[in-house]
Structure 1
Amino acid sequence: MRKKTITASLLATALVATGVLANAGVAHADADTLVVNAGSVLRPVTHVAAGGLYALATTTTPDPTQLPPLHLNQLTQPAPGVQQVGNGASVPTGDALKVAPVSTNAGAQTTIRMADIYNGFPYQGVTLPDYLAKVDTMVKARVAATNTTNVNGWELWNEPDGTWDTNTNGTFNDAWVKIYNEVKKYDTVTPIVGPSYQYYDHNRMLAFLTNAKANNAVPDVISWHELSQGWGGIGDHMSDLASIESSLGISPRPVSINEYAWTDQVDVPSAALHYISQFERYGIRDAERAYWYESGTVNGLLYNNQPTASYWMYKWYGDMTGNMVPVTASSDLDGIASLDSTRKILTVIAGGEYGNNTITINGLGSFGTQAKVTLTASATTGRTTNSSQPAPLSTTTVPIVNGSLSVPITNEDDKAAYQVVVTPASGPVTATQQVYEAENATVVNAQRLSSSSASNGGYVGRIDGSADQRSDSFVDFLVNVPTAGSYKMGIRYANGGTAPSTQGLAYNGGAFSTITYPVTGSWGTFAANNTVSTNLTLKAGYNMIRLAKGSPSFAGGTGYAELDSITLTAQ
C-alpha cells in the first residue's frame, strides 16, 4: 500500500541512483507495427491483471453491478478486524471477510493482507509478539467463516523492505518463519503469499528464499510490487526468480504482483495496458492495481460509482474469451490479444505510441477471405472524470490475404488504449456468447489443464476437494445472457472412473441440485457427446453458475469429473 504522504519522487530517485529503476518507455512517432499471432496460444484467458488492492470498501461500495463486466480475477483486501485507515477514508474499510460475498459474486478470489491490522504507514506500534497474537485472531476468524469461499492466500506482511522495524523485531527473514508457523497452527490449507517487497531485488529475494527453504517456510505464492520500476523489467524479474528457485531446489511458484503501476500510470489507459501486456506475456498468475487513492473505486476505475476512461479499457479486457495469443511489441506500441475460436472473434487492445501506426494480425486463415474490423479508442480523462462507453471510430470490411490483415491507427494518442475486434465478414458464429470454457472461469482449488480434444484446447481437472470452505473445489462461470428466461445448459465433461460421479450445481445464490456424470471411459478426453444437460432460469445480464465437488451448503459430490465447457441455449 502507498499513502499520498509518501515521497514517491525520493524513492524513484534512489532507485535510479542504484540502477534499479527500469525504463518504462517514452512514446515516439516512428510508424510502428504491432504484430499479433492468432495461430499460436499464449495461455487461457483468465484476466490476469483484472483486480486491485482495496478495490472494495464495503458490500455496496463500489456498486456491485459495475463489477461483472470487468471479470475480476484477484483482489487483495485487508485482514478481518482491519485498523488501517486507507487513502481517502476516515474509518478502516475493506475487511476481507465482510466484502467476501461481493468479490465471490464478481468471480474474484481474495488474498488477505494481514499487516493492515495495524494503522499508519509504515505500520505503527508493531512488535513481533503482538503481531503473532493478532495473527491468531485473524486466522481463527477466517476459519470460523464457514460460508466464505474464494480466499486464496494469507499475505504475511506488506513491503518488509520499507516497513519492517529490524531494531525492534529482528530481521524480517527470521520473523517470516515465525509468522508462517503461527498461521499454520490454525490453517494448514490456505496458501501463504510473500514476501511482497516494494520492488524486485535479486539479492533480497535470494536471501529470503534461502532462509525460507532452510526453515520449511517457502511461500506457496511469490509476490512483489511493480511500481516505480516501471513495466520494462518484469520479464527479467520473472527470469531471475526462476533461476533462484532452480538454484535452491524450490519448485516453481506462481507469482502475484499484488500492486502495480505508479501514480502517474495507474489511470492512464496505455500505461496500465503496458503492465497488463507484460503480465500476460511472462506468465504472472495475478496482478492487482495499486491503491494510491480512495478505496472502493476498483482503484480508480469508478468515480462516484460510474466508469472512468480506464474502466472501459478493463472492460475490453474483461470481454476477452478463449485463449490469449502472442503479441510482439514495436518500440512503445504494445498490447494484448485473444482469440475465441468457437465464435471466431479476435480482439486486440493496443496503445503506448502516437502518430500513425499499424496492427498486423496473422493466423486468421479460418476467418475466410474477408474480415469485419471494428476500431475503438478510449478516452484519457483520468480517475476523477466519468466517461461514457466509447463509440467505435470505424467499422470496415478488409481482405484477409494468406491469413493476414493490417489495421492502421492514424493520429494515435499515446495515452489512450485502442480496441480492435476482428470477425469474419459475416460476423461472429453466434451473436452472443453461448459456450463458456471452464479454463476461462474462476477455478478454485482445481487445475487448468490442456487437451487436444477439449474445446479451445483447455479444461479444468482435479476438482477434488470437499473438506471445508478453504479446500472445496469448484468452478464458477460468470455468464451473460441477453434475455431473462429458461436456458438449457449442456455440460461437456470427462469421467474416466468406473461409476457415475456427481457434482453440485447452484446459480445466483440459489439452492444446490445434483448433476450426474455417466462414465466416459477416460480422463482428459472430451468427445462431442460427452455432455449432460439441465435447465436453468436465468436473469437478463450476468449470472453466476457454480459446479462444485464441495461448497458451503453442499455436502460434496461423489467420484470425480473434469469440466471442458458449458453451453447455454435459450428455450
Structure 2
Amino acid sequence: MRYRRTAATAATLTVLALLTTTVPAQAAGNTLTVNVGSVVRPVTHVASGGLYAVDTGTKPPLSQMYPLKLNHLTQPPPGGQQLGNGATQPCCDGLQVAGKVTSAGAQQFYRMPDIYPNFPYRWISWADWESKVRTMVQARVSAGSVTNVDGWELWNEPDWTWNTAAAGSFLAGWTRTHRLIRTIDTVTPIVGPSHSYYNHTWMVDFLTNARNTNTVPDVIVWHELGNDSYLNVQAHVADYRAIESSLGISPRPISINEYASPSQVDIPSVAVHYMAVFERHGVRSAERAYWYEAGTLNGLLHNNAPTASYWAYKWYGDMAGNIVQTVPGSWLDGVASYDSTRRFVNVVLGGDSGNNTVRVNGLGALGSQVRVTLSRTNTTGRTTNQSAPVTVSAATYTVANGSISVPVNGMDAAAAYQLLITPASGAATWQQRYEAENATAVNANRFSSGSASNGGYVGRIDGTANSRNQSFVDFIVNVPAARSYTMTLGYANGTGATATQGLAYNGGAYSTISYPPTAAWGVFGSTVNTTVTLNAGYNVIRLAKGAPNFTGGAGYAELDYLHLS
C-alpha cells in the first residue's frame, strides 16, 4: 500500500536518480552476454505475479492475463476488509477470485491480517484475532471447488505492523497462530515471516523460534521494496540459505511477494532487472507490489488495456523451455530462454542508454544463419496505454562459431527491449509442444531427466483427496484456429499397470486418459494420443490425478510434455 514505507525508502536513491545520474555515467558500449548452452532452470515465469493484482469480473480480463503466464498472487483472505491506497470498499477476496486465478494458471497466498480494514493494522485482542483466523480458515476448508491456494500468510511486515505492546512478541504470536491454523487445516502451506525488507538478525531469530516450536513455514517470504533491492537479492538469498543450513532446517522455497518501490514499479527496464535476478538466484515466485490501484495487474493494465510495462511481462510470458544464463554488463541486464523444440531464443533486456550490444553464444543448433527481431516498449507509465510493442529492426545474422553480436543502438535506459532469435528459415509459426515443467504444477513436483523432452518433467502427481491437496498440471496453450487437434502426451508410468488421469479443457467435462506401463519412472519416450477441440487463441488444458468434479485417477503417471498438431 502506497503510503506505508515513505521513511524506509527516503534514504535510498530513487530510480529516476539512478536513470539520470548513475546510469548515463556508465551507459553505452556495454554488452549483455547470453549463453544459450548454460541452463539455469526450467521456465516458470518466476516474476509474473502481483499483490492485489486480480479483482472479480473483468478487472482484469482473462484475455489480458493469459499471455503473462501468471505464476503467483497474494490476495486478501476470505472476508478480507482491507481498504488500501484510498479504496472505498474492500476488493479482491481470494475465494471470490479463485476461479479466475486458477483459469489463468496461477496460485495464491491469502494474506490473513488483511481481514482488518486499516493499514497499519489495528490490533483488537487475541480473542478477536483467533476468532477471525478460525472464520477465515474454515471458509477456505469449506470451499470444496477451490484448488489454487498454496499458502496462509500469517502476518504482513511484522517488523513494523505487529503491535507488540498489545499482542506480545511477534515470535510468540507466530507460534500461537500457526498452531491454531493447524487445528483446522493440516494441509494448506503456511508462509512467512513476510518482513518488509530482509534483515539477517530478524531471520535468525524468527527461524530459531520456528525450529524450536515446530512452526517453520513451508515457504519463506520477505519483501524487496527499496530502490536498490534488485542489487541485493543475491546476497539476501545466500544469507538466508546459510541461516537455514546452520539451523538444520531443510531448504524452503523462497517467495518475494512484494517487489519494486513506488518509483520503480512502472519502469519497464527495472522490471527486467527484477526478472533477471529472481530467475538467476533461485527465487520460486515474486509479485509486483501494490502501491496504487487494485485489480490492474499492478499497473500493467489501464482501463483493462496494456501499458508499456505490460509488454515486458508479455515477452517474459512468451518464454518456454529453459531459462539460460545471462551475464550483465554494467546496468545492462536481461533474462533469456531457449525453447529447443522450436529452436527459439527469447531475450528481454534493458537498463542502459546509448549504443550497446547483446552477445548470444551457443546458437549452433539454429543453423548458420538466424533471424533477429528487435522490439521495445515505451516508457509512459501506468496511466497511458501502449497497444503493441514497437518493432525496431529485423535482420538476418550469420552465426560464427555459434555466436552472434546484435547492436542495440539508441537505447532508452527506462525502456525494455526484446530480441527474438529463430532460424533464418523453417521456424515454427506457433507453439505446438508444451513442456510439463513449464506448466502450472499443483501439488506436484518438477524433476530433471536426460530422456525427457527439454530435460525436465513433472512427477509426484499424487493427491486425490480434498481440494487442498488434489494434484494436477495446467497447460495454457495458444492455437491459431478453432478446431480439433491431436494431443500427444509424453509420459512415464513405472507402476506396472495402466494408470489414468482426468482430462478437461476450458472448464469442460472430464474424460479419462490412460497410460500403459512403461519401463521405469523418469525414463521417457512413451506417448499416448487423444483429440481435443480448442478455441482459437488461449485455452487451458488440465491433466489431473484429482480435481473438483473429477472422482480421481488410478495409479500414477509422470508427465513429460503435451504436443498439439
Residue of structure 1 aligned with 2:96, choices 98, 104, 108:
98
Residue of structure 2 aligned with 1:206, choices 192, 204, 207:
204
Note the C-alpha offset of 1:351.
Answer: 0.3
SS of the residue 1:361 aligns to: strand
CA contact (8 A) 1:497 1:521 kept: no
CA contact (8 A) 2:123 2:167 kept: no
Matched AA of 1:142: R
- For residues 307 and 394 of structure 2, what CA distance do their matches in structure 1 show? 24
CA contact (8 A) 1:344 1:367 kept: yes
Q: Tell me the residue number matched to 1:20.
A: none
- For residues 15 and 301 of structure 1, what CA distance do their matches in structure 2 show? 25
Cα deviation per residue 1:248-307 (whole Å; 9 max; x = unaligned)? 000110000000000111100001111111100001000000000000000000001110
Residues 214 and 235 of structure 1: is their aligned pair in 2 closer, same or farther, counting only changes over 3 Å?
same
SS of the residue 1:178 aligns to: helix
- For residues 401 and 532 of structure 1, what CA distance do their matches in structure 2 show? 40
- 2:149 is equivalent to residue 159 of structure 1: no
Cα deviation per residue 1:290-329 (whole Å; 9 max; x = unaligned)? 0000000000000011100000110000001100001001
Matched AA of 1:221: V
- For residues 463 and 563 of structure 1, what CA distance do their matches in structure 2 show? 9
- 2:42 is equivalent to residue 12 of structure 1: no
Q: Tell me the residue number matched to 1:365.
A: 364
SS of the residue 1:41 aligns to: strand
CA contact (8 A) 2:471 2:544 kept: yes
Q: Tell me the residue number matched to 1:294.
A: 293
Residues 248 and 7 of structure 1: is their aligned pair in 2 closer, same or farther, counting only changes over 3 Å?
closer
Note the C-alpha offset of 1:66.
Answer: 1.1
Note the C-alpha offset of 1:124.
Answer: 1.8
SS of the residue 1:525 aligns to: coil
Note the C-alpha offset of 1:390.
Answer: 1.4
SS of the residue 2:457 aligns to: strand
Q: Tell me the residue number matched to 1:148.
A: 146
Residue of structure 2 aligned with 1:439, choices 437, 440, 447:
437
Q: Tell me the residue number matched to 2:259.
A: 260
Cα deviation per residue 1:82-126 (whole Å; 9 max; x = unaligned)? 110122421000000000011100000011111100011111244
Note the C-alpha offset of 1:14.
Answer: 5.5
- For residues 58 and 182 of structure 2, what CA distance do their matches in structure 1 show? 33
Q: Tell me the residue number matched to 1:283.
A: 282
Identity of aligned residues (%): 59
Matched AA of 1:539: N
CA contact (8 A) 1:154 1:191 kept: yes
- For residues 508 and 7 of structure 1, what CA distance do their matches in structure 2 show? 41
Q: Tell me the residue number matched to 1:550.
A: 546
Residue of structure 1 aligned with 2:481, choices 476, 480, 483:
483
CA contact (8 A) 2:2 2:262 kept: no
Moved more, 125-134 or 49-58: 125-134
- Structure 2: segments with no counterpart, 5+ residues: none
- For residues 88 and 164 of structure 1, what CA distance do their matches in structure 2 show? 22
Matched AA of 1:434: Q
SS of the residue 2:278 aligns to: helix
- 2:34 is equivalent to residue 36 of structure 1: yes
- For residues 367 and 272 of structure 1, what CA distance do their matches in structure 2 show? 29
SS of the residue 1:534 aligns to: strand
SS of the residue 1:514 aligns to: strand
SS of the residue 1:326 aligns to: strand
- For residues 276 and 11 of structure 2, what CA distance do their matches in structure 1 show? 27
CA contact (8 A) 1:26 1:332 kept: no
- For residues 562 and 136 of structure 1, what CA distance do their matches in structure 2 show? 37
Give 1:150-549 correspondences, 5 Å limit. 150-228=148-226, 229-428=228-427, 430-527=428-525, 530-549=526-545
* TM-score, reference length from structure 1: 0.96
CA contact (8 A) 1:48 1:280 kept: yes
- For residues 468 and 358 of structure 1, what CA distance do their matches in structure 2 show? 52
Matched AA of 2:154: L
- For residues 124 and 218 of structure 2, what CA distance do their matches in structure 1 show? 25
Note the C-alpha offset of 1:128.
Answer: 2.7
Matched AA of 1:147: S
SS of the residue 1:231 aligns to: helix
- For residues 10 and 477 of structure 2, what CA distance do their matches in structure 1 show? 46
Residues 57 and 155 of structure 1: is their aligned pair in 2 closer, same or farther, counting only changes over 3 Å?
same
- For residues 59 and 410 of structure 2, what CA distance do their matches in structure 1 show? 38
CA contact (8 A) 1:466 1:551 kept: yes
Aligned alpha-carbon RMSD (Å): 1.3
SS of the residue 2:223 aligns to: strand
Cα deviation per residue 1:4-40 (whole Å; 9 max; x = unaligned)? 3x352x2224679xxxxxx999313241000000011
CA contact (8 A) 2:348 2:418 kept: yes
Moved more, 545-554 or 56-65: 56-65
Residue of structure 2 aligned with 1:60, choices 58, 61, 67:
58
- 2:38 is equivalent to residue 48 of structure 1: no
Note the C-alpha offset of 1:155.
Answer: 0.3
- For residues 7 and 253 of structure 1, what CA distance do their matches in structure 2 show? 27
Residues 15 and 358 of structure 1: is their aligned pair in 2 closer, same or farther, counting only changes over 3 Å?
closer
Cα deviation per residue 1:396-440 (whole Å; 9 max; x = unaligned)? 001100000011011100000010000111152x21000010000
- For residues 555 and 26 of structure 1, what CA distance do their matches in structure 2 show? 59
Moved more, 222-231 or 97-106: 222-231
- For residues 427 and 418 of structure 1, what CA distance do their matches in structure 2 show? 25
Moved more, 25-34 or 265-274: 25-34
- For residues 83 and 61 of structure 1, what CA distance do their matches in structure 2 show? 18
- For residues 502 and 58 of structure 1, what CA distance do their matches in structure 2 show? 34
CA contact (8 A) 1:82 1:117 kept: yes
